[in-house]
Structure 1
Amino acid sequence: MIRVLIERHIAESLETAYEERSRRVLQRAVAAPGFISGETLVDSHDTNHRITLANWRSEADWNRWHRSLDRRNLMAELIPMMDKDETITVLKQSGI
């Protein structure tokens, strides 16, 4: 299993529109092969900073979803609402 950390920063006054569209992204990800679970968090010091932590069966499963036309189309709606580029970090257990 891997974890994917996705960070986004929403432009001022677009929070409601962002929430609606980001919910669609998560709903579609849930249906993607290899998706295990996920949660979205809000930075307590910056409410426009959103962090999604998703668990995927493998990096191959994540990459298939990340590159999919479905995700690209959904992200095309979200990207204009962000004032910074999305940051993605793929994490795996260290073996310690």
Structure 2
Amino acid sequence: MAIKILIKRHFKEDSTKQAFALLRNFRHDAMNRPGYISGETWINHYDPCQITVVSTWQTVEDWIQWEESDERAAHEANLTELLEGPAQFEIYDVVGMAQD
């Protein structure tokens, strides 16, 4: 079953340009991982320092392999110094909606 991962981050003011460059590299590496389907980056309309990354994975196991990888940890470490606080992670199952 496909899953969606929401990663919410609040960046320090004046750090979003650098954050976007790091997030692009982050996504590029994730795209080469088994099970990666797609990704989006959302910017809060009222607070452009609040950025949410949404990625879709084939299985939760695929996500966990990426989440626990040294490669991902290195990317996360690069972002940490730009953050106001810790990133928040949410995992959702993707379910189809049957029409009545």
Query: What corresponds to 1:33 in structure 2?
Result: 34
Offset at residue 93 of structure 1 (A): 3.4
Equivalent residue pairs, number: 96
Q: Note the 1:1-96 alignment, pairs <5 A.
A: 1-93=2-94
Aligned mates of 1:93, 1:73 — CA distance in 2: 28
Offset at residue 13 of structure 1 (A): 1.0
Which of the pair has more CA radius of gyration?
2
**Mind listing any 5+ residue stretches in structure 1 that lack a counterpart?**
none
Judging by fraction of residues, say which structure has more strand. Answer: 1
Aligned mates of 1:77, 1:11 — CA distance in 2: 14
Matched position secondary structure for 1:44: coil
Code of the aligned partner of 1:50: I
Which runs of at least 4 in structure 1 moved beyond 3 Å after TM superposition?
93-96
Residue identity (%): 26
Aligned mates of 1:72, 1:61 — CA distance in 2: 16
Offset at residue 4 of structure 1 (A): 0.5
Aligned mates of 2:22, 2:43 — CA distance in 1: 16
Aligned mates of 1:95, 1:27 — CA distance in 2: 28
Deviations 1:53-84 (A, max 9, x none): 11100000000001100000111111100011
**Mind listing any 5+ residue stretches in structure 2 that lack a counterpart?**
none
Judging by fraction of residues, say which structure has more helix. Answer: 1
Aligned CA-pair RMSD: 1.2
